[in-house]
Structure 1
């Protein structure tokens, strides 16, 4: 197994996105919490970087174990991209999966110890268990697998709140007073909003990936949404979720625009609304695997553009 194979099975680009997302959320949302509370923050840059690396390692272990159990499906859906059993020995894959999980959980345990709050370790442990059962059972079940992945994506953001007790009292109000007595929008609520959109768009993307993988999933006996209710009804369901996403974002943009946040509003329309609307109307005309693969990739970029709004809001 060379470095290229390792990078492919770990989905290095996805892991870098996880790390970058957590660091951006820390810098723009967690760090400013010091303006709202006298309690010292636990998550400094060093602790946040450790948490981000741990999250990425656990996610990487999830990718490996998913590929391990998907050898038969990938041989049909992605014959040229399948690694396990070809370039990577199955035993080596399991050993590396275990290594990533152990190191990731060890880092989380260390942070929990430094925080003197062992209970927060339940989240990374729970994510590890969910990733295993997703690969062995949930992925092949109607809706359940999609929701599990969406939940795990949201938790990759929310885990920052679990490791920052200073944020917990602030969850009670969306508009608390800062240290100067000014009413401000609560950063913790913004973080939860981002995790909510991550959940929704990941759900859409996972269903589209099921449409893309229809043939292999059917051969393996999976009961995904396209197999259970048919491709056309699944596309309608995806369009409904996309319409919900566009509607929610539109309300947010109108609120920002009326408060004078012109440039952020224009950015959100161009980078989020228009691609979502394009996907909403075009996906109904998709009939081939590569069409669905294109929309899956587009949604991934939309999510990245969504995270980048943190930078725009901060400096605007």
Structure 2
């Protein structure tokens, strides 16, 4: 019986999303630790941070699917897991096991680094994802914005590990101007892009989810304003990213390498292509989610240059 649950549970936590989270945080680690031999932080503790973040994200996916069963029966019956492969009771139990495990890890990290930060941020994430699934996602734009902000915060969470670690040298908060460190520029930029990219993707996803969302009384942008206005909003979000890169980069002389700039430009050029195709063809909207995720992965690779 337990063996039969492994694959459905694995699918339930959405491994692709977990992979992106892990790759993002490891990219920050690579940028700050591997490029600076004088920086020495605990790899074990960073792995624990990766684990706690993944557990909370996985639990968030579970609870979201738990409350979305009625909608998923309409929108994606072939992908329905809860009630079909995993009982609702087991989904709730696993959700709390994952969250409790993440909280234990955060207590350890907070204790070791003499800060309440890890406990606070994990409790905030756990509660936000719960209330998102129950309430926020049904409110127009609010649910999209919350998920986008949480996605954009992931690089900053990894960065905070270096700021709070005494072994991180120049990155430590003891340095009064730690937030101005040139090494952080690329992380700030990617954090903003991750937030905007995910916001566009969440809104596109709402277009595909309209039939099922009606079943659970969700109010989304496409339901209220229609497809044409929704596509215009998504196009505006994608355009802002391109403008930000080309305005902020020269004005503030961001300390990012030439190759990093080109990689970000390629990722945002893909956004431009998505925007053009989406505005020309309504049927393309449902494929835009995958391409937006691809664009995000290309941008993420800039951390490893």
Regarding TM over 0.5, the answer is: yes
In the TM superposition, what is the alpha-carbon distance from 1:174 to its structure 2 partner?
Answer: 6.8
Moved more, 291-300 or 78-87: 291-300
Distance 1:113 1:278, change over 3 A: same
1:144 to 134, 142, 145: 142
1:200 & 1:162 partners in 2: Cα distance?
21
Contact between 1:15 and 1:60, CA under 8 Å: does it hold in 2? Answer: yes
Task: Give the corresponding residue for 1:193.
Answer: 189
SS in 2 for 1:223: coil
1:296 maps onto 2:301 in alignment = no
Of 152, 159, 165, the residue aligned with 2:157 is: 159
Change (3 A) 1:29 1:81: same
State how many pairs are aligned. 295
Among 6, 9, 26, the residue aligned to 2:9: 6
Match of 1:133 in 2: 131
Deviation, 1:269, is 3.3
Gaps of 5+ in 2: 165-170
Cα distance in 2 for partners of 1:265, 1:93 equals 43
Aligned match of 1:214: 210
Aligned-partner Cα distance in 1 for 2:99–2:302: 31
Question: What does residue range 94-113 of structure 1 map to in structure 2 within 5 Å?
Answer: 94-113=92-111
- In the other structure, the counterpart of 2:90 is 92
Matches of residues 163-312 of structure 1 in structure 2 within 5 Å? 163=161, 164-165=163-164, 166-168=171-173, 172=177, 186-251=182-247, 263-270=259-266, 272-288=267-283, 291-312=284-305
8 Å CA contact 2:109–2:118 kept in 1: the answer is no
Alignment CA distance shift 1:31-1:126 (3 Å): farther
TM-score (norm 1): 0.85
Distance in 2, matches of 1:71 and 1:111, equals 35
CA distance in 1 between partners of 2:83 and 2:65 (Å):
10
2:120 aligned to 114, 117, 122, which one? 122
Q: CA deviation at 1:280?
A: 1.0
Structure 1: state its 5+ residue gaps.
177-185
Deviation per CA, 1:94-133, whole angstroms, max 9, x where unpaired? 1111111111111111111111112442111101100000
Which range moved further: 244-253 or 303-312? 244-253
TM-score by length of 2: 0.88
Tell me, yes or no, if the aligned pair for 1:105 and 1:124 is still in contact at 8 Å: yes
Closer, same or farther: CA 167–235 of 1 in aligned 2, 3 Å: farther
- SS at structure 1 position matched to 2:78: coil
Separation in 2 of the partners of 1:4 and 1:259?
44
Task: Please report how far the alpha carbon of residue 53 of structure 1 lies from its aligned counterpart in structure 2 after TM superposition.
Answer: 1.0
